[in-house]
Amino acid sequence: MADLNPNLPGDDRWAREALTQLAFAAVTEQRRARRWGIFFKFLFFGYLVGLLVLAWPDSLDTTAMTASAKKHTALVRIDGLISSSTEASAKNIIEALRKAFKDDKTAGVILEINSPGGSPVQSGEIYDEIQKLRQQYPKIPVHAVTSDVCASGGYYIAAAAQNIYANKASIVGSIGVRMDSFGFTDAIAKLGVERRAYTAGSNKDFLDPFKPVNPEEVKHLQGMLDAIHQQFITAVKQGRGERLKDNPDVFSGLMWTGEQGVGLGLVDALGGTRSVAEEVIKEKTIVDYTKHTHWLDRLFDETQVSLSTALRSGLGMDGMAQWR
């Protein structure tokens, strides 16, 4: 560094140089701190923007909005387990169906189903809504297209459509009801565990897995399952009508390929979403109305389900019937 004043004594010049260097260092440090401050402000702002985008309840789908400006085939996907805590819940599916039917540019609706089944209640609500919408909008056809699997509760929903199409290798059927449980009486006896359960109500420990099987309880449970099964059979017969073949195996819980399903009257013809849109509905433009649950909503729903499951277990109500 150049000597600012060569006439100053040596000690004074050294002090002056040291002060000058300290001043420059302070300025440099301030600039560096200011740059880092700006960087972190931008980073925090970007983080907030990201959170707002993720938290936005219904992000705009510009492609769907553009496509819905002309005649189109509406698509609603039912994917995975049908349950109140999944995307394939009655709430989500019904909301998507209503939106699709209300659009005056909708020429027809396709239900694309890839589900092994699930809740009888959720499946029944979707079935009833489809029937209601068909009456309300008689000029808009609704067809079900099975993907990999359309079984149990998935097929229950499909039966509400005017026609069912499948791939020749699709799995369809499984018209039945099941409830799973376990028995631990021998295990706790070997381990020397003493079961202590306190209830109010003579049947509150109904089907307790830690007590021996009670034939009367099993009989009552079987009556419940048979009643739900009959609801399923009635809905399928109502939806399929005379297309169903007179074969007792149809309602036995067995499953078939899509090709076999055609022979049994469970499926009308082989086809996929694209072919049904182009050849049956006659509108090749497809607009997806499927409602995707936001991650914040899923987190809330999963927490709610976990709490209700814990509550049911505590009250001895953990066994639930499933169409699967």
List the CATH number of the domain containing 285.
3.90.226.10
* CA nearest to 89, candidates 243, 301, 253: 301
271: Cα within 13 Å, side-chain hemisphere: 21
Instruction: Determine contact, residues 284/180, Cβ cutoff 8 Å.
Output: no
Is residue 109 in a domain?
Answer: yes
Cα–Cα separations (whole angstroms), residue 217 to 167, 204, 289, 319: 42, 11, 45, 13
pLDDT of res. 155: 94
204 classed as catalytic = yes
pLDDT band at 314 (very low <50, low <70, confident <90, very high): very low
All residues at 6 or more sequence positions from 27 whose CB lies less than 8 Å from its CB, including other chains: none
Is residue 293 in a domain?
Answer: yes
315: pLDDT strictly greater than 70: no
pLDDT band at 59 (very low <50, low <70, confident <90, very high): very low
Least confident of 22-31, 109-118, 223-232: 22-31
How confident is the model over 166-186, as pLDDT tens digits?
999 999 998 888 777 777 677
152 classed as catalytic = yes
pLDDT band at 41 (very low <50, low <70, confident <90, very high): low
If one compares 318 and 296, the residue with the highest pLDDT of the two is 296
pLDDT of res. 39: 66
Is residue 322 in a domain?
Answer: no
DSSP H or E segment with residue 95 = helix 90-102
Is residue 53 in a domain?
Answer: no
Domain count, the chain: 1
CA–CA separation, 153 vs 150, rounded Å? 8
Is residue 92 in a domain?
Answer: yes
Is residue 35 in a domain?
Answer: no
CA–CA separation, 46 vs 37, rounded Å? 14
Q: Per the residue annotation, which of 41, 168, 204, 284 is the catalytic one?
A: 204
Is residue 8 in a domain?
Answer: no
69: pLDDT strictly greater than 90: no
Q: Per the residue annotation, which of 119, 152, 170, 174 is the catalytic one?
A: 152
Is residue 212 in a domain?
Answer: yes
pLDDT of res. 66: 47
Q: Residue 115 belongs to what domain range?
A: 62-314
pLDDT band at 133 (very low <50, low <70, confident <90, very high): very high
